[in-house]
Chain A
Amino acid sequence: MQTALREAVALLLSGDRQLGIILATTLRMVLASSLLALVLGGPLGVLLGGYSGRWKGVLVVLNRTLMGLPPVVVGLICYMLFSGVGPLRHLRLLYTVRGMVIAQVVLLTPLIAGSLESHVSSVAPDIRETALGLGLSRGRTLLLLLGESQYQLLSAYLLGLGRAFAEVGAVSMVGGAIAYKTNVMTTAIMNYTNMGSFTTALALGIILLGVSLVLNAGVALLHGRLKR
């Protein structure tokens, strides 16, 4: 462990080009996919939580099922869609960061929507009743609902961010872990482990944890400010 820690520090200080690219690719993929999933999953979660029609139960169960989607299944589906014989081959998304982002968004959106839905479901009746009593429009009520969920929105984002950092199954299938192109921290760790370079793999793991810690701390700080 000590050796791995020393190597992690040495790797960071060495300015290794390959590590820089892996880090940059990871951050690009993680931030793009988590933000996109937030943009899609946030309103979806609010709408689902605020909806009280008879299909609510079915929609919630459907979303919860999607929350448990195995990443390799998403990876496989994306691979089949993007590959040379797939219907989306003309988009040339296979073995690209954009393709990896799409796979991640598929995984993260239900997660963010689901985590927001349970919060909104609990506050929506009171918000709706109060807003209706004041004669506010539906649009205004929805905006209020969104505003009242900003703290949970950030919590949901944190959840998505963590999942995006840890994901390996889908991104390795869609990205192919190509050096200098689509190799991210998790796939690099897998590659080094397969090559028997356990210390380097562990060092990368420590760096991944560090980066995740810094990002999460930043969001948590914002979280704390919103709470005040």
Chain B
Amino acid sequence: MKLPALSKTYAGRKVLDLPELTLTDGAVHAVIGANGCGKSTFARILAGVIPADAGKLPPLGAGYMPQRSYPFHMKVLRSLRLTGAGREAARAQLEAFGLIHLEKQSAGRLSGGETARLALARLLLRDYPLLILDEPTAAMDVTATLLAEERILEYRSRTGCTVVLVTHSLTQARRMADEVLFLREGRLEERGSAREVLSHPRSPETRAFLDFYTL
């Protein structure tokens, strides 16, 4: 999947300035970097939430989980069926995400971690060629995080979709990613296979970031 060079400026500050990129079909791309480096802006541009100042994206038909998924104030099962899924498919998905006991509860009353699990479960009910996940497990505990990662990888294997995973967790990037994109101050500092970037980074900035976050 080819992406044009993308840039975005907010209030005179260039928050994203990326060169042309090719996403490897069917691969999980972890986007890492410090706060404010442009990870979420990149995800939101890819998802079509905000336009890039330069670089026009074709419609990608992507499925996208924002950092703050809105917990619709309706029963959990009904919330899943917003995607058009049938009752049984929705129940099976709740089962797969360990949420079946909450099916009749109002989604607005779930905890942050449960809300994130519900949002992911709902998103993965449909098939997309590109899946964009902006810190999907940030609010989840360890067990829920591992379960969510497993479901994302299963989904990727089943649909063959390309995944863009914005994450703050280097361990998650190690567990899930085929490729890693390290952003720094809106620019692509380094890109390569997960093993290369996370274990043997070329750039001193990437090394400094990794050293700091693995302290």
Contact = CB atoms under 8 A, between A and B. Distances in A.
A148 B73 contact: yes
- Which interface residue of A129, A136, A147 has the most chain B CB atoms within 10 A? A129
Contact of B126 (A128, A129, A134, A147): A134
A133 B72 contact: no
B145 interface: no
A133 B64 contact: yes
B48 A134 contact: no
Interface string A115-154: 0000000010011111011111000000010011000000
Interface in B61-76: 61, 63-66, 68-70, 72-74
B72 A126 contact: no
A126 B49 contact: no
Nearest to B126: A135
Nearest to A151: B73
- Which interface residue of B44, B49, B70, B74 has the most chain A CB atoms within 10 A? B70
B123 A134 contact: yes
A218 B132 CA distance: 46
19 contacts: A126-B69, A126-B70, A129-B64, A129-B70, A130-B66, A130-B69, A130-B72, A133-B65, A133-B66, A134-B63, A134-B82, A134-B122, A135-B63, A135-B128, A144-B72, A144-B82, A147-B72, A147-B73, A147-B74
Interface of A: 123, 126-130, 132-136, 144, 147-148
Given A129-B66, A132-B48, A133-B64, 15 more contacts: A126-B66, A126-B70, A127-B70, A127-B72, A129-B44, A129-B49, A129-B64, A129-B68, A130-B69, A133-B65, A133-B66, A134-B82, A134-B83, A147-B74, A148-B73
